[in-house]
Structure 1
């Protein structure tokens, strides 16, 4: 059956006005807003993990043994020599002594291993030792005094629950 057309060539049927439009997209589900008490709370940013980036670095994993501190000292001085740092005997002895003190302190935490990290930049060396032990012996306050007496630029210690241990570090000037 043919549909009769009018003079304009249309079938005489008017379109629906207004034209149908698609529904708007649904909004994503919004997370619940904090309660009134939580608005006054202080937000604590999670602690950043130890990270050495954009500089020359080396690391070693050492067992927890009586000879480990001396071995750590040899590793540090040897790597600094490989990197072209020519150290006089006094500076080499101080770097070894700092490393030995930090490693001995890490061993007192009682872990099965320690990690030794070394980085250099701008004629300074960073020595970082991780104990990997979550149950810590209280820090000997004399450690940082002993390390500072050996001529370091800066030193410190902190505990990180994510890394599962205590970090001890010293920054040493290699230029003179």
Structure 2
């Protein structure tokens, strides 16, 4: 995966029951440093937990988080390092309930399955 011409970060965690909480904490700390004024920290933490939990369920030994930003958007990707099944519908259903998630999805590659979300940190109307 290549993310160019923007700020990026990569973090790795053992794929265990603590991975989602550890990832949410470290991702939030990283993204805070990028200075997005409209960042909804609760949405970011929740999105990271959904993504990491889905990656852990793939059964690999580790989960990598890849972050990137461009203008008022933040890309959050969890890589399972394991070919997994399509995520359960509740992963995407949960992500879609978050007001700042613009899009989400998954794909399979040689290095494993990626699940991702794009969060909007700019001015936006709140969903009901």
* Superposition TM-score, scaled by structure 2 size: 0.89
Query: How many residues align structurally?
Result: 122
Larger radius of gyration: 1
Unaligned runs of 5+ in 1: 1-49
Cα deviation for residue 137 of structure 1 reads 3.8
| Runs (4+) off by over 6 Å | none
Counterparts in 2 of 1:25-44, with a 5 A limit?
Answer: none
Q: Which residue of 2 aligns with 1:110?
A: 59
Cα deviation for residue 138 of structure 1 reads 4.4
Of 85, 96, 118, which aligns to 1:171?
118
Superposition RMSD in Å:
1.4
- Decide which structure has greater strand share: 2
Q: Does 1:147 align with 2:95?
A: yes
Cα deviation for residue 80 of structure 1 reads 1.4
Q: Which residue of 2 aligns with 1:56?
A: 7
Unaligned runs of 5+ in 2: 124-128
Counterparts in 2 of 1:89-108, with a 5 A limit?
Answer: 91-108=40-57
Please give the secondary structure, in 1, of the residue aligned with 2:4: coil
Counterparts in 2 of 1:65-144, with a 5 A limit?
Answer: 65-87=16-38, 91-134=40-83, 136-144=84-92
Q: Which has the higher contact order (CA 8 A, sep 6+)?
A: 2
* Superposition TM-score, scaled by structure 1 size: 0.66
Separation in structure 1 between the aligned mates of residue 68 and residue 86 of structure 2, nearest angstrom? 27
Separation in structure 1 between the aligned mates of residue 16 and residue 27 of structure 2, nearest angstrom? 18
